[in-house]
């Protein structure tokens, strides 16, 4: 039985309000040191990416958590990962390449110091011993133990879906994020 479950479609305008709701409820769990920061970082970073890149006004968040395990799912029905690269004249062969570039930190933003959100989330998830899936277009990537396994999706996914599953454990958030 989960101690905290959140499943809601939100508009981008309500992003901060919903993040506050999630934060207040999660604080009641008294999570391991650093884990609360990880969850808030993941959710805020992914929602910021949707706001900047997806060309859509809505996202879905599913969060399930107890003292031992955590599952985070964030989905949008926007333009996907490949199109923002193409619009910035960064040629990507297919959806697999777009996912790989996003996970490696190549940004479509103009500022050089930005663009490490998905890369940092991947690094964190691996550090926690968890797994992460990314779906966009015709591609799905499963990231686990420093490996990425790609699969073709039977039906093309319009937008981006990211799911993270990990155990809840003590972590040095600021050491990993640096």
List the CATH number of the domain containing 86. Answer: 3.30.565.10
In a domain, 141, yes or no: yes
Query: Which residues constitute the domain of residue 127?
Result: 4-165
In a domain, 129, yes or no: yes
Q: Cβ(49)–Cβ(118) under 8 Å? A: yes
pTM (predicted TM-score): 0.89
What pLDDT is stored for residue 2 in this prediction?
Answer: 59
Q: Which residues contact 113 (CB under 8 A, 6 or more apart)?
A: none
Confidence of residue 136 (pLDDT cuts 50, 70, 90): very high
Q: What span, in angstroms and rounded, lies between the C-alpha atoms of 88 and 135? A: 21
Q: How far is CA 178 from CA 125, 133, 162, 172, in A?
A: 15, 23, 23, 10
**pLDDT above 70 (res 29):** yes
In a domain, 77, yes or no: yes
In a domain, 57, yes or no: yes
Confidence of residue 42 (pLDDT cuts 50, 70, 90): very high
What pLDDT is stored for residue 170 in this prediction?
Answer: 87
CA-based nearest residue to 141, from 111, 90, 104: 104
Q: State mean pLDDT over 147-163.
A: 93
In a domain, 175, yes or no: no
Virtual torsion, Cα 143, 144, 147, 149, nearest 10 deg: -50
Looking at the 3D structure of the chain, how many domains does it have?
A: 1
In a domain, 170, yes or no: no
Q: Cβ(155)–Cβ(69) under 8 Å? A: no
Tell me how many degrees the CA angle 112-137-132 measures, rounded to the nearest 5: 70
């Amino acid at each position: 039985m989960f101690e905290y479950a959140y499943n809601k479609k939100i508009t981008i305008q309500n992003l901060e309000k919903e993040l506050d709701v999630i934060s207040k409820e999660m604080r009641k769990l008294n999570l391991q040191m650093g884990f609360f920061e990880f969850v808030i970082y993941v959710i805020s970073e992914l929602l910021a990416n949707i706001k900047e890149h997806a060309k859509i006004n809505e996202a879905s968040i599913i969060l399930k958590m107890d003292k031992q395990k955590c599952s985070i799912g964030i989905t949008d029905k926007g333009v996907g990962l490949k199109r923002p690269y193409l619009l910035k004249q960064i040629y990507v062969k297919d959806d697999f390449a777009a996912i790989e570039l996003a996970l490696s930190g190549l940004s479509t933003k103009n500022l050089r110091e930005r663009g490490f959100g998905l890369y940092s989330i991947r690094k964190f998830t691996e550090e926690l011993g968890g797994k992460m899936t990314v779906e966009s277009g015709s591609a799905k990537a499963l990231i686990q133990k420093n490996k990425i396994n790609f699969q073709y999706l039977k039906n093309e996914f319009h937008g981006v879906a990211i799911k993270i599953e990990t155990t809840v454990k003590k972590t040095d958030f600021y050491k990993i994020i640096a």
